[in-house]
Amino acid sequence: MGWLSALVIAILTLAAIKDWMGGADWKTLVGLFGLWPLAGLAALVTAGGWGGLSILRTGERNARFPGVSAFALGVGLTFIAQLSIMAFSTKV
């Protein structure tokens, strides 16, 4: 799992160098992939869906949106899902 996270971090770094994402978005995603890879993946997927909807809504290919809000939504849903899994998997 560590090498896969490192690969995603390298790709995100390339995207940040090419100015495809802002610095705050890059720092947040790199931190998530470094600390909690599942949350990083959820944040990346959520931001992709959010960006796709933003492009469809505005009709502009270079639509900008606050990525950290999408990251927070993805991480929050992941946290709630993992808590519910832990709550229902314990034997009473």
pLDDT digits (tens, 9 = 90+) for 45-54: 999 999 999 9
Give the per-residue pLDDT at 11: 94
pLDDT of 2 above 90: no
Is residue 79 packed enough to be buried (19+ CB in 10 Å), middle (13-18) or exposed (0-12)? middle
Local confidence band at 63 (pLDDT 50, 70, 90 cut-offs): confident
Helices 37-58/23-35 angle, 10° precision: 150
pLDDT of 28 above 90: yes
Give the per-residue pLDDT at 92: 62
Give the per-residue pLDDT at 1: 74
Question: In sequence order, which residues have a C-beta less than 8 Å from that of residue 5 and are 6 or more positions away?
Answer: 33, 34, 37, 40
> Degrees (nearest 5) of the Cα angle 77, 79, 82?
110
Predicted structure pTM score: 0.82
Local confidence band at 33 (pLDDT 50, 70, 90 cut-offs): very high
